[in-house]
Homo-oligomer: A and B are copies of this chain.
C-alpha cells in the first residue's frame, strides 16, 4: 500500500512509467484532496498554473489506475471520479441529497453480509461498494427539502 507522494512516484517508476511534471502535479493535487475528484475538477485546479492539457489528465488517471495507485468511483450523477489509494482506504461515501456534501464513512462492517451472500450465490466475493444518501445536519437545520428518492 502506498503512503505518500514519494511512494507514489517510486511505485510509478517501479512499474516502468516515467515521472513527468504533469504527473507530479496531478498526483499532488489528488494528494491534497480528501475526496474523490473528476478529471475536470483536477483540470480546473491545475489549469492556470502549469497549463496541463485535459487529455493528459485523462491519460494520467488511466496510467495511475493501471499502476493500482488510484481507483475509479462512479458518482450518482453518472460522472467518473478518482480517488488516491491510501493506507486503510477502505471506506464509503455519504452524500447529502440536498447540498451535495460528501463525507466518508469509516468501517462498514459488511463482512458477515458478504459471507451470507457468498453462501447464497456461490460467488467468491472480492469487493463491494456502499454509498449512503441522506440529509446533512446543516440542511436539516435550514429545513431544506431533499431531492432524494429511494433507490432500487
Contact = CB atoms under 8 A, between A and B. Distances in A.
Contacts of A13: none
Copy tally for this chain in the complex stands at: 2
Interface stretch (A19-27, A43-51, A107-115): A107-115
B113 A140 contact: no
Given A109-B113, A128-B131, A130-B130, A122 B149 contact: no
Contact of A118 (B68, B89, B124, B134): B134
A57 interface: no
Contacts of A94: 117, 121, 123, 125
A90 B152 contact: yes
Interface string A73-109: 1111010100101000111001011000001011011
B78 A149 contact: no
A123 B152 contact: no
Nearest 6 interchain pairs by C-beta: A122-B137, A125-B134, A123-B134, A128-B132, A71-B152, A124-B135
Interface string A141-152: 000001011111
Interface residues of A, number: 52
A68 B148 CA distance: 11
Given A125-B132, A128-B133, A74 B71 contact: no
A83 B80 CA distance: 21
